Structure 1
Amino acid sequence: MGTYIIRRILQMIPVILGATFLIFAMVFALPGDPVAGKCGERPCSPAYRAAYIQKYNLDKPLPVQYGKYVLNLAKGDLGTTSNNIPVADQLKLRVPVTGKLALMAVLIETGIGILAGVLTGIRRGGFLDNLVLVSTLVLISIPIFVIGNLAQLYLGTRLGWFPVTVTSSNPSVYQLLLPAIVLGSLSVAYVSRLMRTNLVENLRSDYVRTAISKGLTKRRAYGLHALRNSLIPVVTFIGFDFGALLGGAVVTEGIFNIPGIGGYVFRAIRVRDGASVVGAVTFLVIVYLVVNLLVDLLYGLLDPRISHE
């Protein structure tokens, strides 16, 4: 196990370098004036322009720029914004908020999605199966901003069950509950359908029928064998979705006024703050790779036949 973890960590290094280089190249190699808009409506002074170009090494070739960035990254320096604020300090304020929101959304989609998938997989063809099928199709077909606005209107404004918007920089679990439900609603549909499909397939397998014919109860055969094997693709999707939720919650954060990473990256792209974009995306890439490593380690717990040695 230890050898496998070390090998996977070493494999992350070229992935991080490749991903960050692509982002770095796309951000800093964009055509146009990199200093445009940095001084408001008035043009920037020659002194400011020269200092800005020197600070971000914009007068040097792209490989040299990226090499300097990687050296700073190895020291834990994610760069500074155009306002001379360290990107790491900005992320420290936003990562806990987005992390809490994404974790709550994952817990919601995992609990509801797996439960719905198990119930419909065991009792396929019944009323509950058809109800979940129609509900998931409806959720998948509705854009996330429509779900967010409807939830905000009915559950927040009219019924008063949840706060309409987040009003603090460190929101509580209750304040993030409605945004988490909205953010995880689409994934609930995918998890439930994925769980149902895999469970139905495993229930028809020979090893489940053999276990029952040898005297194992259906509950134990379903739970010990079929359910654990059916969870493998579901865990894969949940691990991928957690990384996607961290950086892809722009719409939800905008609707509920959440000071998270998604809105921060969006604003940085809009004002062409390259250091903020590259630093935030680099952090998200590292988190995504770590989550995928944890998902791979879970495979061995769900299916003992999978070995990491």
Structure 2
Amino acid sequence: MGTYIVRRLLQMIPVLIGATFLIFAMVFALPGDPLDGKCGERACPPAYAAAFEEKYNLNDPLPVQYFKYVGNLAHGDFGETYNGIKVSDQLKERYPVTVKLGTMAVVIEAILGILAGVLTGIRKGGFLDNLVLIATLVVISIPIFVIGGLAQYFLAVKWGLFPVTVTSGEATFYQLLLPAIVLGSLSVAYVARLTRTNLAENLRSDYVRTAISKGLTKRRAYGLHALRNSLIPVVTFIGFDFGALLGGAIVTESIFNIPGVGNYIFRSIKSRDGASVVGAVTVLVLVYLVVNLIVDLLYGLLDPRISHD
């Protein structure tokens, strides 16, 4: 197990370097001039432009810029925005909010999705099964900005059950609850369908029927054998989805005015602020890699036949 973890950690290094280089190259390939608007409606003086380009290494070729950035990154320096603000300070302020939002969304999708999948998988073809299938299909078919807008209007504005937006300051659990439900709604549908399909298939397997014929109760046979094997693809999806929720919360954060990393990345791309985008995405890549490692380790707990030796 220890050797496997070390090997996986070493494999993260080239993945991290490759991902950050691609993001770095794409951001700096965007059209536009970082100096636009820095001096109002007039063009910036040549001395100011030269100093600006020298400070942010804009005169260097792309590979040189990247290696300078990686060198600073190795010392924990994420660089500065074009407004002179440290990217690390911005990330420290925004990432906790997005991580809290993403964690709440993952918990909601795991609990509701697995519960709905288990109930429908055991009673496949019944009324509850058909109801969940129709409901999940409706949720999958509706864009997330429509779900967010409707939830905000009815649950927050009209009925007053939740705050309309996240107020300034630290985002509380109550303020993030409705955005987390909206953010995780699509994933709940996928988790429910995935759990239902895999559980229904495993319940028809020979090893489940054998366990019941040997005297094991249905509850224990379903929970100990069928459900554990059915959760392997579900855990894989949830692990992938956690990273996706952190980076894909731009629409939800915009609707509910959440000061998270999604809005930060969107504004940074619009302003062509490469250091901000690359810094935020670098942390996202690290989260993806760590979560994937945790998911791989969980496979051994769900199915003892899977070995990491």
TM range (shorter): over 0.9
1:308 matches 2:308: yes
Match of 1:83 in 2: 83
Structure 1: give runs of 5+ residues left out of the alignment: none
Q: How does 1:78-227 map to 2 (within 5 A)?
A: 78-227=78-227
Q: Secondary structure of the equivalent of 1:308?
A: coil
Structure 1 stretch displaced more, 220-229 or 40-49: 40-49
Contact in 2 for aligned 1:169/1:259 (Cα 8 Å): no
Structure 2: give runs of 5+ residues left out of the alignment: none
Contact in 2 for aligned 1:116/1:132 (Cα 8 Å): yes
1:36 is displaced (CA, Å) by 2.3
1:82 is displaced (CA, Å) by 0.4
Deviations 1:254-275, CA, capped at 9 Å, x for gaps: 0000000000000001111111
Match of 1:242 in 2: 242
1:32 is displaced (CA, Å) by 4.1
Give the Cα–Cα distance (whole angstroms) in 1 for the partners of residues 214 and 33 of structure 2.
Answer: 74
Give the Cα–Cα distance (whole angstroms) in 2 for the partners of residues 141 and 7 of structure 1.
Answer: 41
Give the Cα–Cα distance (whole angstroms) in 1 for the partners of residues 187 and 165 of structure 2.
Answer: 22
Contact in 2 for aligned 1:8/1:293 (Cα 8 Å): yes
Give the Cα–Cα distance (whole angstroms) in 1 for the partners of residues 297 and 72 of structure 2.
Answer: 31
Q: How does 1:8-87 map to 2 (within 5 A)?
A: 8-87=8-87
1:31 is displaced (CA, Å) by 4.1
TM-score for the superposition, normalised by structure 1: 0.98
Deviations 1:107-137, CA, capped at 9 Å, x for gaps: 1000000000000000000000000000000
Q: Percent identity?
A: 79
Give the Cα–Cα distance (whole angstroms) in 2 for the partners of residues 27 and 103 of structure 1.
Answer: 28
Deviation >6 Å, runs of 4+: none
1:33 is displaced (CA, Å) by 2.9
- 1:133 to 1:28, Cα distance in 2 relative to 1, 3 A: same
Deviations 1:5-55, CA, capped at 9 Å, x for gaps: 110000000000000000111112334434223334332221221122112
TM-score for the superposition, normalised by structure 2: 0.98
Q: How does 1:228-307 map to 2 (within 5 A)?
A: 228-307=228-307
Match of 1:5 in 2: 5
The number of aligned residues is 309
Please give the root-mean-square deviation of Cα atoms over the aligned residues, in Å: 1.0
Partner amino acid, structure 2, of 1:253: E
Give the Cα–Cα distance (whole angstroms) in 2 for the partners of residues 41 and 253 of structure 1.
Answer: 31
Contact in 1 for aligned 2:34/2:271 (Cα 8 Å): no
Partner amino acid, structure 1, of 2:203: L
